[in-house]
Amino acid sequence: MEITEPILLVLVVATALAFDFTNGFHDTGNAMATSIATRALKPKQAVLLSASLNLVGAFLSLAVAATIATGIVNSGVVTLQVVLAGLVGGIVWNLATWFFGIPSSSSHALVGGIVGAVIAAAGTSGVLWSGLIGKVLLPALIAPIVAIGVASVGTWLVVRITREVKDNTNDRMFRWGQIGSASLVSLAHGTNDAQKSMGIILLALLASGAVPEGSSVPFWVILSCALAMAAGTYIGGWRVIRTLGKGLVELSSRQGMAAETSSAAIILVSSHFGYSLSTTHVATGSILGSGVGMKGAKVRWSVAGRMFGAWVITVPSAAAVGALCFFIEQVIGGNAGSYVVFALLVVISTMIFVRSRRTKVDSKNVNDDWESSADNESVIAQSVAAHDPRLLRIKRKKKKRNKKKKSVAGKKHKKKNVTG
Amino acid sequence: MSKFIEWDAIGNIIVVGLVFGAGLPALFALGVRALAGPGAKHANGAALLTRRVAAVTCFTVIVLAVTGAIIYIAAGGH
Protein backbone atom coordinates (compact mmCIF):
# COMPACT_ATOMS: atom_id res chain seq x y z
CA MET A 1 0.00 0.00 0.00
CA GLU A 2 1.25 3.45 -0.97
CA ILE A 3 1.61 6.09 1.72
CA THR A 4 0.36 9.26 0.09
CA GLU A 5 2.04 12.01 2.09
CA PRO A 6 4.80 10.48 4.22
CA ILE A 7 6.43 13.68 5.52
CA LEU A 8 3.10 15.27 6.39
CA LEU A 9 2.09 12.08 8.15
CA VAL A 10 5.26 12.17 10.27
CA LEU A 11 4.53 15.81 11.17
CA VAL A 12 0.97 14.98 12.21
CA VAL A 13 2.10 12.03 14.34
CA ALA A 14 4.79 14.19 15.99
CA THR A 15 2.24 16.93 16.68
CA ALA A 16 -0.24 14.45 18.12
CA LEU A 17 2.47 13.15 20.47
CA ALA A 18 3.31 16.73 21.40
CA PHE A 19 -0.35 17.29 22.25
CA ASP A 20 -0.30 14.13 24.34
CA PHE A 21 2.71 15.50 26.20
CA THR A 22 0.98 18.83 26.95
CA ASN A 23 -2.12 16.90 27.98
CA GLY A 24 0.00 14.98 30.48
CA PHE A 25 1.63 17.93 32.14
CA HIS A 26 -1.47 20.08 32.04
CA ASP A 27 -3.49 17.44 33.85
CA THR A 28 -1.01 16.22 36.48
CA GLY A 29 -2.72 18.55 38.90
CA ASN A 30 -6.13 16.91 38.51
CA ALA A 31 -4.86 13.83 40.27
CA MET A 32 -1.99 15.07 42.36
CA ALA A 33 -2.60 18.71 43.34
CA THR A 34 -4.38 17.86 46.59
CA SER A 35 -1.80 15.26 47.66
CA ILE A 36 0.99 17.73 47.03
CA ALA A 37 -0.81 20.57 48.80
CA THR A 38 -1.48 18.52 51.95
CA ARG A 39 2.04 17.02 51.83
CA ALA A 40 0.71 13.48 51.65
CA LEU A 41 3.37 13.04 48.97
CA LYS A 42 6.47 15.03 48.18
CA PRO A 43 6.04 16.88 44.87
CA LYS A 44 8.56 14.71 43.01
CA GLN A 45 7.10 11.48 44.41
CA ALA A 46 3.63 12.60 43.42
CA VAL A 47 4.47 13.28 39.78
CA LEU A 48 6.46 10.06 39.56
CA LEU A 49 3.53 8.04 40.92
CA SER A 50 1.10 9.84 38.64
CA ALA A 51 3.34 9.36 35.59
CA SER A 52 3.71 5.63 36.26
CA LEU A 53 -0.02 5.19 36.66
CA ASN A 54 -0.75 7.22 33.54
CA LEU A 55 1.65 4.93 31.69
CA VAL A 56 -0.07 1.81 33.02
CA GLY A 57 -3.48 3.34 32.38
CA ALA A 58 -2.67 3.97 28.73
CA PHE A 59 -2.10 0.25 28.23
CA LEU A 60 -5.14 -0.88 30.16
CA SER A 61 -7.82 -0.42 27.59
CA LEU A 62 -8.46 0.73 24.04
CA ALA A 63 -12.21 1.04 24.33
CA VAL A 64 -12.50 4.75 23.66
CA ALA A 65 -9.68 5.28 21.16
CA ALA A 66 -10.77 7.20 18.07
CA THR A 67 -13.92 8.53 19.68
CA ILE A 68 -12.61 12.04 20.27
CA ALA A 69 -13.83 13.72 17.13
CA THR A 70 -16.61 11.39 16.09
CA GLY A 71 -20.05 12.83 16.59
CA ILE A 72 -18.64 16.35 16.78
CA VAL A 73 -17.35 16.97 13.27
CA ASN A 74 -18.34 15.48 9.95
CA SER A 75 -15.63 12.86 9.44
CA GLY A 76 -15.80 13.23 5.65
CA VAL A 77 -14.03 16.61 5.74
CA VAL A 78 -11.17 15.55 8.02
CA THR A 79 -7.84 15.56 6.16
CA LEU A 80 -4.26 15.49 7.43
CA GLN A 81 -4.10 19.29 7.06
CA VAL A 82 -7.23 19.70 9.18
CA VAL A 83 -5.90 17.36 11.86
CA LEU A 84 -2.57 19.20 11.97
CA ALA A 85 -4.22 22.63 12.27
CA GLY A 86 -6.57 21.31 14.97
CA LEU A 87 -3.72 19.79 16.99
CA VAL A 88 -1.75 23.02 16.82
CA GLY A 89 -4.82 24.88 18.10
CA GLY A 90 -5.11 22.46 21.02
CA ILE A 91 -1.41 22.63 21.91
CA VAL A 92 -1.21 26.42 21.78
CA TRP A 93 -4.25 26.78 24.04
CA ASN A 94 -2.90 24.16 26.46
CA LEU A 95 0.43 25.97 26.69
CA ALA A 96 -1.22 29.36 27.13
CA THR A 97 -3.49 28.17 29.94
CA TRP A 98 -0.58 26.34 31.57
CA PHE A 99 1.46 29.53 31.46
CA PHE A 100 -1.25 31.34 33.38
CA GLY A 101 -1.76 28.39 35.72
CA ILE A 102 -5.35 27.79 34.67
CA PRO A 103 -6.59 24.20 34.80
CA SER A 104 -8.58 24.06 31.57
CA SER A 105 -9.71 20.91 29.85
CA SER A 106 -7.20 19.40 27.41
CA SER A 107 -9.97 17.51 25.65
CA HIS A 108 -11.86 20.73 25.09
CA ALA A 109 -8.74 22.33 23.65
CA LEU A 110 -8.34 19.45 21.21
CA VAL A 111 -12.02 19.42 20.23
CA GLY A 112 -11.96 23.21 19.84
CA GLY A 113 -8.88 23.14 17.62
CA ILE A 114 -10.35 20.50 15.35
CA VAL A 115 -13.75 22.21 15.19
CA GLY A 116 -12.04 25.46 14.19
CA ALA A 117 -9.97 23.77 11.49
CA VAL A 118 -13.07 22.00 10.15
CA ILE A 119 -15.04 25.26 10.00
CA ALA A 120 -12.16 26.86 8.10
CA ALA A 121 -11.99 23.89 5.74
CA ALA A 122 -15.65 23.11 5.12
CA GLY A 123 -17.71 25.88 6.68
CA THR A 124 -20.13 25.55 9.58
CA SER A 125 -21.87 22.59 7.98
CA GLY A 126 -18.81 20.45 8.74
CA VAL A 127 -19.59 20.65 12.45
CA LEU A 128 -22.30 18.56 14.08
CA TRP A 129 -23.58 21.33 16.35
CA SER A 130 -25.92 19.24 18.47
CA GLY A 131 -23.04 16.86 19.17
CA LEU A 132 -20.78 19.76 20.08
CA ILE A 133 -23.34 21.27 22.45
CA GLY A 134 -24.56 18.00 23.94
CA LYS A 135 -21.23 16.23 24.26
CA VAL A 136 -18.82 19.05 24.99
CA LEU A 137 -20.33 22.36 26.03
CA LEU A 138 -23.15 21.35 28.37
CA PRO A 139 -21.13 18.67 30.20
CA ALA A 140 -18.61 21.42 30.94
CA LEU A 141 -21.31 23.26 32.87
CA ILE A 142 -22.71 20.16 34.53
CA ALA A 143 -19.43 18.52 35.62
CA PRO A 144 -18.29 21.10 38.17
CA ILE A 145 -21.78 21.44 39.66
CA VAL A 146 -22.13 17.68 40.20
CA ALA A 147 -18.57 17.50 41.56
CA ILE A 148 -19.10 20.38 43.98
CA GLY A 149 -22.21 18.62 45.29
CA VAL A 150 -20.68 15.19 45.73
CA ALA A 151 -17.42 16.45 47.23
CA SER A 152 -19.15 18.77 49.67
CA VAL A 153 -21.41 15.97 50.94
CA GLY A 154 -18.39 13.67 51.23
CA THR A 155 -16.29 16.26 53.05
CA TRP A 156 -19.14 17.13 55.39
CA LEU A 157 -19.62 13.46 56.31
CA VAL A 158 -15.89 12.85 56.78
CA VAL A 159 -15.38 15.91 58.95
CA ARG A 160 -18.43 15.10 61.03
CA ILE A 161 -17.45 11.46 61.58
CA THR A 162 -13.85 12.22 62.51
CA ARG A 163 -14.35 15.41 64.53
CA GLU A 164 -13.44 13.64 67.76
CA VAL A 165 -10.25 12.17 66.37
CA LYS A 166 -7.02 14.06 67.00
CA ASP A 167 -5.87 16.24 64.13
CA ASN A 168 -2.48 14.64 63.66
CA THR A 169 -4.00 11.14 63.67
CA ASN A 170 -6.48 12.27 61.06
CA ASP A 171 -3.75 13.75 58.92
CA ARG A 172 -1.60 10.64 59.14
CA MET A 173 -4.39 8.25 58.20
CA PHE A 174 -6.14 10.32 55.58
CA ARG A 175 -2.91 10.84 53.71
CA TRP A 176 -2.98 7.15 52.89
CA GLY A 177 -6.52 7.48 51.66
CA GLN A 178 -5.47 10.45 49.57
CA ILE A 179 -2.66 8.55 47.90
CA GLY A 180 -5.04 5.74 47.01
CA SER A 181 -7.75 7.96 45.58
CA ALA A 182 -5.30 10.17 43.69
CA SER A 183 -3.75 7.07 42.13
CA LEU A 184 -7.14 6.03 40.85
CA VAL A 185 -7.66 9.41 39.20
CA SER A 186 -4.23 9.11 37.52
CA LEU A 187 -5.06 5.67 36.22
CA ALA A 188 -8.41 6.79 34.83
CA HIS A 189 -6.75 9.81 33.22
CA GLY A 190 -4.10 7.69 31.50
CA THR A 191 -6.73 5.40 30.08
CA ASN A 192 -9.05 8.13 28.90
CA ASP A 193 -6.75 10.82 27.61
CA ALA A 194 -3.89 8.83 26.08
CA GLN A 195 -6.47 7.13 23.93
CA LYS A 196 -7.55 10.44 22.46
CA SER A 197 -4.11 10.95 20.94
CA MET A 198 -4.00 7.32 19.86
CA GLY A 199 -7.29 7.86 18.09
CA ILE A 200 -5.98 10.96 16.31
CA ILE A 201 -2.83 9.14 15.14
CA LEU A 202 -4.92 6.21 13.96
CA LEU A 203 -7.12 8.59 11.96
CA ALA A 204 -4.03 10.12 10.36
CA LEU A 205 -2.58 6.70 9.52
CA LEU A 206 -5.86 5.65 7.96
CA ALA A 207 -6.24 8.90 6.02
CA SER A 208 -2.81 8.58 4.45
CA GLY A 209 -3.12 4.88 3.75
CA ALA A 210 -0.27 3.85 6.02
CA VAL A 211 -2.43 1.17 7.60
CA PRO A 212 -5.29 -0.70 5.91
CA GLU A 213 -8.91 0.31 6.50
CA GLY A 214 -10.40 -1.13 9.68
CA SER A 215 -7.13 -1.85 11.46
CA SER A 216 -6.81 -1.32 15.18
CA VAL A 217 -4.28 0.88 16.98
CA PRO A 218 -0.74 -0.39 16.21
CA PHE A 219 1.41 -1.23 19.22
CA TRP A 220 4.03 1.46 18.55
CA VAL A 221 1.26 4.06 18.68
CA ILE A 222 0.07 2.82 22.08
CA LEU A 223 3.63 2.76 23.37
CA SER A 224 4.61 6.20 22.11
CA CYS A 225 1.37 7.81 23.34
CA ALA A 226 1.76 6.20 26.76
CA LEU A 227 5.36 7.39 27.00
CA ALA A 228 4.55 10.92 25.80
CA MET A 229 1.79 11.29 28.36
CA ALA A 230 3.89 9.82 31.17
CA ALA A 231 6.81 12.12 30.29
CA GLY A 232 4.47 15.13 30.29
CA THR A 233 2.99 14.09 33.62
CA TYR A 234 6.44 13.66 35.14
CA ILE A 235 7.59 17.09 33.99
CA GLY A 236 4.58 18.26 35.93
CA GLY A 237 2.49 21.31 35.21
CA TRP A 238 3.56 22.96 38.43
CA ARG A 239 1.70 26.16 37.64
CA VAL A 240 -1.60 24.34 37.32
CA ILE A 241 -0.85 22.14 40.35
CA ARG A 242 -0.26 25.27 42.37
CA THR A 243 -3.56 26.86 41.37
CA LEU A 244 -5.54 23.70 42.10
CA GLY A 245 -3.76 22.76 45.31
CA LYS A 246 -3.23 26.17 46.88
CA GLY A 247 -5.29 28.70 44.97
CA LEU A 248 -8.85 27.51 45.42
CA VAL A 249 -9.08 26.14 48.93
CA GLU A 250 -6.65 25.70 51.81
CA LEU A 251 -6.81 21.93 51.93
CA SER A 252 -6.49 19.54 54.83
CA SER A 253 -5.83 15.88 54.13
CA ARG A 254 -9.42 14.98 55.01
CA GLN A 255 -10.69 17.41 52.37
CA GLY A 256 -8.11 16.21 49.87
CA MET A 257 -9.13 12.62 50.31
CA ALA A 258 -12.82 13.41 49.95
CA ALA A 259 -12.15 15.56 46.86
CA GLU A 260 -10.07 12.95 45.04
CA THR A 261 -12.50 10.14 45.81
CA SER A 262 -15.33 12.27 44.52
CA SER A 263 -13.35 12.97 41.33
CA ALA A 264 -12.53 9.32 40.75
CA ALA A 265 -16.10 8.21 41.38
CA ILE A 266 -17.69 10.83 39.12
CA ILE A 267 -15.22 10.28 36.27
CA LEU A 268 -15.70 6.52 36.28
CA VAL A 269 -19.46 6.61 36.85
CA SER A 270 -20.10 9.23 34.18
CA SER A 271 -18.17 7.36 31.55
CA HIS A 272 -20.06 4.22 32.53
CA PHE A 273 -23.31 6.01 31.72
CA GLY A 274 -21.92 7.22 28.42
CA TYR A 275 -21.66 10.87 29.46
CA SER A 276 -18.05 11.84 29.31
CA LEU A 277 -17.10 14.66 31.67
CA SER A 278 -13.78 16.45 31.60
CA THR A 279 -11.31 15.20 34.24
CA THR A 280 -10.23 18.79 34.77
CA HIS A 281 -13.71 20.16 35.37
CA VAL A 282 -14.58 17.33 37.75
CA ALA A 283 -11.34 17.67 39.73
CA THR A 284 -11.73 21.43 40.06
CA GLY A 285 -15.35 21.09 41.13
CA SER A 286 -14.43 18.47 43.70
CA ILE A 287 -11.74 20.66 45.25
CA LEU A 288 -14.20 23.56 45.47
CA GLY A 289 -16.77 21.20 46.99
CA SER A 290 -14.31 20.08 49.65
CA GLY A 291 -14.07 23.71 50.70
CA VAL A 292 -17.84 24.17 50.68
CA GLY A 293 -18.38 21.08 52.84
CA MET A 294 -15.86 22.00 55.52
CA LYS A 295 -16.88 24.40 58.23
CA GLY A 296 -14.62 27.43 58.29
CA ALA A 297 -12.69 26.55 55.14
CA LYS A 298 -11.77 29.40 52.83
CA VAL A 299 -12.95 29.12 49.25
CA ARG A 300 -11.46 31.67 46.86
CA TRP A 301 -14.40 32.11 44.55
CA SER A 302 -12.55 34.84 42.69
CA VAL A 303 -9.92 32.34 41.55
CA ALA A 304 -12.67 29.88 40.67
CA GLY A 305 -14.45 32.60 38.70
CA ARG A 306 -11.41 33.28 36.54
CA MET A 307 -11.13 29.57 35.94
CA PHE A 308 -14.75 29.21 34.84
CA GLY A 309 -14.20 32.14 32.51
CA ALA A 310 -11.29 30.32 30.92
CA TRP A 311 -13.37 27.18 30.49
CA VAL A 312 -16.05 29.08 28.64
CA ILE A 313 -13.57 30.47 26.13
CA THR A 314 -11.50 27.28 25.73
CA VAL A 315 -13.39 25.86 22.77
CA PRO A 316 -13.76 29.14 20.84
CA SER A 317 -10.14 30.16 21.47
CA ALA A 318 -8.64 26.84 20.43
CA ALA A 319 -11.01 26.91 17.45
CA ALA A 320 -9.73 30.34 16.45
CA VAL A 321 -6.12 29.12 16.53
CA GLY A 322 -7.06 25.96 14.64
CA ALA A 323 -8.88 27.93 11.97
CA LEU A 324 -6.01 30.40 11.65
CA CYS A 325 -3.55 27.55 11.17
CA PHE A 326 -5.71 26.05 8.48
CA PHE A 327 -5.89 29.40 6.66
CA ILE A 328 -2.11 29.68 6.80
CA GLU A 329 -1.84 26.18 5.34
CA GLN A 330 -4.23 27.13 2.55
CA VAL A 331 -2.67 30.49 1.74
CA ILE A 332 0.82 29.04 1.40
CA GLY A 333 -0.57 25.94 -0.17
CA GLY A 334 0.51 22.36 -0.48
CA ASN A 335 2.77 20.62 1.96
CA ALA A 336 4.82 23.79 2.41
CA GLY A 337 1.84 25.30 4.25
CA SER A 338 1.83 22.45 6.72
CA TYR A 339 5.57 22.77 7.27
CA VAL A 340 5.16 26.47 8.02
CA VAL A 341 2.39 25.77 10.54
CA PHE A 342 4.54 23.13 12.22
CA ALA A 343 7.47 25.56 12.37
CA LEU A 344 5.16 28.21 13.86
CA LEU A 345 4.12 25.74 16.55
CA VAL A 346 7.74 25.11 17.46
CA VAL A 347 8.46 28.86 17.63
CA ILE A 348 5.39 29.65 19.74
CA SER A 349 6.04 26.77 22.14
CA THR A 350 9.64 27.84 22.60
CA MET A 351 8.58 31.44 23.24
CA ILE A 352 6.04 30.43 25.89
CA PHE A 353 8.58 28.14 27.52
CA VAL A 354 11.31 30.78 27.62
CA ARG A 355 8.88 33.35 28.99
CA SER A 356 7.76 30.88 31.67
CA ARG A 357 11.32 30.54 33.00
CA ARG A 358 11.16 34.11 34.23
CA THR A 359 8.45 33.30 36.75
CA LYS A 360 9.27 29.74 37.45
CA VAL A 361 6.97 27.46 39.41
CA ASP A 362 8.48 24.06 40.14
CA SER A 363 8.54 21.31 42.70
CA LYS A 364 10.32 23.59 45.17
CA ASN A 365 7.93 26.51 45.40
CA VAL A 366 4.70 24.82 44.35
CA ASN A 367 3.41 24.83 47.94
CA ASP A 368 4.32 28.40 48.86
CA ASP A 369 1.54 30.42 50.42
CA TRP A 370 -0.88 31.60 47.80
CA GLU A 371 -1.40 35.10 49.07
CA SER A 372 2.19 36.15 49.59
CA SER A 373 3.24 35.04 46.14
CA ALA A 374 3.17 38.46 44.61
CA ASP A 375 5.43 37.44 41.73
CA ASN A 376 3.21 34.67 40.52
CA GLU A 377 0.15 36.79 40.98
CA SER A 378 1.53 39.53 38.83
CA VAL A 379 2.03 37.04 36.03
CA ILE A 380 -1.52 35.82 36.24
CA ALA A 381 -2.53 39.42 36.40
CA GLN A 382 -1.14 40.54 33.10
CA SER A 383 -3.02 37.99 31.16
CA VAL A 384 -6.25 36.61 32.34
CA ALA A 385 -7.69 39.97 33.16
CA ALA A 386 -6.91 43.03 35.14
CA HIS A 387 -6.13 41.33 38.35
CA ASP A 388 -5.46 42.67 41.79
CA PRO A 389 -3.69 40.60 44.43
CA ARG A 390 -6.10 42.07 46.92
CA LEU A 391 -8.89 40.23 45.17
CA LEU A 392 -7.49 37.03 46.58
CA ARG A 393 -8.23 38.10 50.09
CA ILE A 394 -11.29 36.59 51.56
CA LYS A 395 -12.16 39.34 53.97
CA ARG A 396 -14.91 41.58 52.83
CA LYS A 397 -14.02 44.81 54.49
CA LYS A 398 -11.68 46.15 51.81
CA LYS A 399 -14.21 47.92 49.65
CA LYS A 400 -11.69 49.94 47.73
CA ARG A 401 -10.92 47.03 45.47
CA ASN A 402 -14.14 47.85 43.66
CA LYS A 403 -12.40 50.22 41.37
CA LYS A 404 -10.43 47.33 39.94
CA LYS A 405 -13.47 45.29 39.27
CA LYS A 406 -13.36 45.09 35.52
CA SER A 407 -12.14 41.52 35.77
CA VAL A 408 -13.38 38.38 34.11
CA ALA A 409 -16.43 36.52 35.11
CA GLY A 410 -18.11 38.99 37.38
CA LYS A 411 -18.06 36.46 40.17
CA LYS A 412 -16.64 38.79 42.73
CA HIS A 413 -19.90 39.22 44.52
CA LYS A 414 -19.84 35.56 45.42
CA LYS A 415 -16.66 35.89 47.33
CA LYS A 416 -17.28 35.16 50.94
CA ASN A 417 -16.16 33.26 53.93
CA VAL A 418 -17.73 29.88 53.72
CA THR A 419 -18.72 29.23 57.26
CA GLY A 420 -20.95 26.30 56.54
CA MET B 1 -32.76 21.89 26.05
CA SER B 2 -33.95 18.39 26.81
CA LYS B 3 -32.69 17.13 23.51
CA PHE B 4 -29.15 18.11 24.51
CA ILE B 5 -29.18 17.11 28.16
CA GLU B 6 -29.46 13.45 29.02
CA TRP B 7 -31.32 13.84 32.29
CA ASP B 8 -31.36 10.09 32.94
CA ALA B 9 -27.59 9.87 32.66
CA ILE B 10 -27.11 12.91 34.89
CA GLY B 11 -29.53 11.55 37.49
CA ASN B 12 -27.63 8.27 37.53
CA ILE B 13 -24.27 10.02 37.79
CA ILE B 14 -25.47 12.07 40.76
CA VAL B 15 -26.95 9.11 42.65
CA VAL B 16 -24.15 6.60 41.99
CA GLY B 17 -21.54 9.34 42.31
CA LEU B 18 -22.90 10.20 45.78
CA VAL B 19 -22.92 6.55 46.85
CA PHE B 20 -19.27 6.02 45.89
CA GLY B 21 -17.83 9.53 45.86
CA ALA B 22 -19.24 10.50 49.25
CA GLY B 23 -19.88 7.04 50.68
CA LEU B 24 -16.33 5.70 50.42
CA PRO B 25 -14.72 8.71 52.16
CA ALA B 26 -17.38 8.41 54.88
CA LEU B 27 -16.56 4.72 55.26
CA PHE B 28 -12.87 5.53 55.48
CA ALA B 29 -13.68 8.11 58.13
CA LEU B 30 -15.65 5.50 60.07
CA GLY B 31 -12.61 3.24 59.93
CA VAL B 32 -10.37 6.00 61.22
CA ARG B 33 -12.83 6.82 63.98
CA ALA B 34 -13.05 3.16 64.96
CA LEU B 35 -9.27 2.96 65.29
CA ALA B 36 -8.49 6.33 66.77
CA GLY B 37 -11.74 7.82 68.04
CA PRO B 38 -12.60 8.27 71.72
CA GLY B 39 -12.89 5.00 73.58
CA ALA B 40 -10.97 3.02 71.01
CA LYS B 41 -7.97 2.31 73.15
CA HIS B 42 -7.10 0.43 76.30
CA ALA B 43 -5.24 2.27 78.99
CA ASN B 44 -2.00 0.81 77.62
CA GLY B 45 -2.59 2.35 74.17
CA ALA B 46 -3.60 -0.76 72.22
CA ALA B 47 -6.87 -0.58 70.30
CA LEU B 48 -9.84 -2.69 71.39
CA LEU B 49 -10.33 -5.86 69.34
CA THR B 50 -13.90 -4.94 68.31
CA ARG B 51 -12.74 -1.55 67.13
CA ARG B 52 -9.93 -3.08 65.13
CA VAL B 53 -12.30 -5.56 63.49
CA ALA B 54 -14.66 -2.73 62.61
CA ALA B 55 -11.83 -0.67 61.11
CA VAL B 56 -10.45 -3.57 59.09
CA THR B 57 -13.94 -4.25 57.75
CA CYS B 58 -14.29 -0.64 56.59
CA PHE B 59 -10.89 -0.60 54.93
CA THR B 60 -11.48 -3.99 53.27
CA VAL B 61 -14.70 -2.76 51.68
CA ILE B 62 -12.81 0.28 50.35
CA VAL B 63 -9.96 -1.83 48.95
CA LEU B 64 -12.52 -4.07 47.26
CA ALA B 65 -14.25 -1.04 45.73
CA VAL B 66 -10.94 0.33 44.41
CA THR B 67 -9.94 -3.07 43.00
CA GLY B 68 -13.32 -3.28 41.34
CA ALA B 69 -12.79 0.16 39.82
CA ILE B 70 -9.41 -0.85 38.38
CA ILE B 71 -10.85 -4.03 36.87
CA TYR B 72 -13.65 -1.91 35.48
CA ILE B 73 -11.16 0.50 33.86
CA ALA B 74 -9.16 -2.42 32.44
CA ALA B 75 -12.29 -3.97 31.02
CA GLY B 76 -12.87 -0.76 29.07
CA GLY B 77 -16.14 -0.05 30.83
CA HIS B 78 -15.79 3.68 30.64
| Separation CA A66–CA A84 (nearest Å) | 16
In a domain, A122, yes or no: yes
pLDDT range class, residue B73, cuts 50, 70, 90: confident
Least Cα distance to A177 among B26, B56, B28 occurs for B28
| Separation CA A229–CA A352 (nearest Å) | 20
Q: Could you give the angle at the alpha carbon of A41 between the alpha carbons of A176 and A360, nearest 5°?
A: 155
Burial of A316 (0-12, 13-18, 19+ CB in 10 A): exposed
DSSP A70: B
Q: Report the share of chain A in percent with pLDDT over 70.
A: 84
Paired residues of A217 in beta bridges: none
- Number of domains within chain A: 1
Query: Helix A253-272 and helix A6-37: axis angle, to 10°?
Result: 140
Task: Give the nearest partner residue to A61 out of B29, B32, B74, using CB atoms.
Answer: B74
Asked if the model's pLDDT at residue A395 lies above 60, the reply is no
Per-residue pLDDT at B70: 83
Paired residues of A249 in beta bridges: A299
Lowest mean pLDDT among A85-94, A108-117, A364-373, A380-389: A380-389
Burial of A274 (0-12, 13-18, 19+ CB in 10 A): exposed
Confidence (pTM): 0.80
Q: Report the share of chain A in percent with pLDDT over 90.
A: 25
In a domain, A263, yes or no: yes
Which chain A residue shows the shortest CA-CA distance from B65?
A: A265
Task: Give the nearest partner residue to B78 out of A64, A158, A184, using CB atoms.
Answer: A64
Q: Could you give the angle at the alpha carbon of B2 between the alpha carbons of B1 and B5, nearest 5°?
A: 90
Task: Give the nearest partner residue to A165 out of B14, B22, B33, using CB atoms.
Answer: B33
Asked if the model's pLDDT at residue A230 lies above 70, the reply is yes
Asked if the model's pLDDT at residue A324 lies above 90, the reply is yes
Asked if the model's pLDDT at residue A310 lies above 70, the reply is yes
Per-residue pLDDT at A153: 95
Asked if the model's pLDDT at residue A400 lies above 50, the reply is no
Asked if the model's pLDDT at residue A251 lies above 80, the reply is yes
Cβ atoms within 10 Å, residue A219: 9
Interface confidence (ipTM) of the complex: 0.88
Answer whether A184's CB lies under 8 Å from B70's CB: yes
Q: How far is CA A103 from CA A83, A97, A398, in A?
A: 24, 7, 28
In a domain, A140, yes or no: yes
Contacts of A154 (CB under 8 A, 6+ apart): A258, A259, A261, A262, A289, A290, A293, B21, B22, B23, B25, B26
In a domain, A397, yes or no: no
Query: From the CA of A159, how many Å to the nearest CA of chain B?
Result: 8
In a domain, A379, yes or no: no
In a domain, A410, yes or no: no
Asked if the model's pLDDT at residue A335 lies above 70, the reply is yes
Task: Give the nearest partner residue to B26 out of A161, A271, A275, using CB atoms.
Answer: A161
The sign one gets for the Cα dihedral A98, A227, A67, A210 is positive
pLDDT range class, residue A203, cuts 50, 70, 90: confident
Among B12, B24, B41, pick the best mutation site for testing chain A contact (most A Cβ within 10 A).
Answer: B24
Asked if the model's pLDDT at residue A417 lies above 50, the reply is no
Which residues of A fall within a CB distance of 8 Å from B28? 158, 174, 177, 257, 261
- Give the mean model confidence (pLDDT) for residues A163-174: 86
Q: How many helices (H) and strands (E) would you count in chain B?
A: 3, 0
| Separation CA A127–CA A75 (nearest Å) | 9
In a domain, A166, yes or no: yes
Which residues of B fall within a CB distance of 8 Å from A294? none
Q: How far is CA A10 from CA A205, A326, A366, in A?
A: 10, 18, 36
Per-residue pLDDT at A380: 52
Asked if the model's pLDDT at residue A151 lies above 90, the reply is yes
- Count CA atoms within 13 Å of residue B14 on its CB side: 12
| Separation CA A385–CA A325 (nearest Å) | 26
In a domain, A112, yes or no: yes
Question: Domain limits at A82?
Answer: 6-366
Per-residue pLDDT at A160: 92
Which residues of B fall within a CB distance of 8 Å from A165? 32-33, 36-37
Per-residue pLDDT at A146: 92
**A49-101 per-position pLDDT tens digit:** 999 998 988 888 766 555 555 677 777 778 888 889 999 999 999 999 988 88
Asked if the model's pLDDT at residue A268 lies above 50, the reply is yes
Asked if the model's pLDDT at residue A364 lies above 80, the reply is no
